Amino acid sequence: MGLGSDMYRQQILDHYKNPRNYGELEDPTFTHIGENPMCGDEIRMDVKLAEDDETIERVAFSGDGCAISQASASMLSSELVGKNVDELLEMDRDDVVDMLGVDISPMRIKCAVLAEKVAQDGAEIYRGELDKEKTSTED
């Protein structure tokens, strides 16, 4: 394990201890929740779209869970600002792993992708393309 991955580990711990954009938005365009029952992670994502109804203007998250799930949500909440909804929907697990910067074991991948899945499902529900009360990594 090189210095590089130590740096990323530090970054994950930093996001876990000092989460960015933690809380709830006053007037989100859409809000969605989800869980990873395997680990007990829970995430709520609030997304505010700009007037064009496409560009992500603000993101907030709240939740509870392991360092990877919470750090991933914190990083994603910053990463998504300025992207549009289509770009969010095109993201996959590799994008999340790249964002975290460390190898994620198969056991922990669900922790890592929870925030992304919640944001994506929230966007699809908002667009009327999905009907779901809560996202689960077990679906």
Which residues contact Zn ion by CB under 5 A? Answer: 39, 41, 66, 69, 111
Q: By C-beta, is 91 or 114 nearer to Zn ion?
A: 114
How far is it, in rounded angstroms, from Cα 81 to Cα 67?
22
Please state, in angstroms and rounded to a whole number, the distance separating the CA atoms of residues 4 and 22. Answer: 27
Of 35 and 124, CB closest to Zn ion? 35
| Least distance in angstroms from the C-beta of 73 to Zn ion | 11
Sheet of 135-136: strands edge to edge?
56-64, 41-49, 30-36, 135-136
Closer by beta carbon to Zn ion, 39 or else 89 = 39
Q: How far apart are alpha carbons 56 and 58 in whole angstroms?
A: 6
Of the candidates 115, 138, 127, 100, the residue with the CA atom closest to the CA atom of residue 30 = 127
- Nearest approach, Cβ of residue 117 and Zn ion (Å): 13
Q: How far is Cα 10 from Cα 117, in angstroms, rounded to an integer?
A: 24
Of residues 33 and 81, the one with the C-beta less far from Zn ion:
33
Q: How far is the CB of 95 from Zn ion (least distance, A)?
A: 18
Q: How far is the CB of 109 from Zn ion (least distance, A)?
A: 10
List, in sequence order, every residue forming a beta bridge with 49; answer none if it has no partner: 56
Least distance to Zn ion, CB of residue 65, Å: 5
Q: Which is nearer to Zn ion, 75 or 85 (CB)?
A: 75
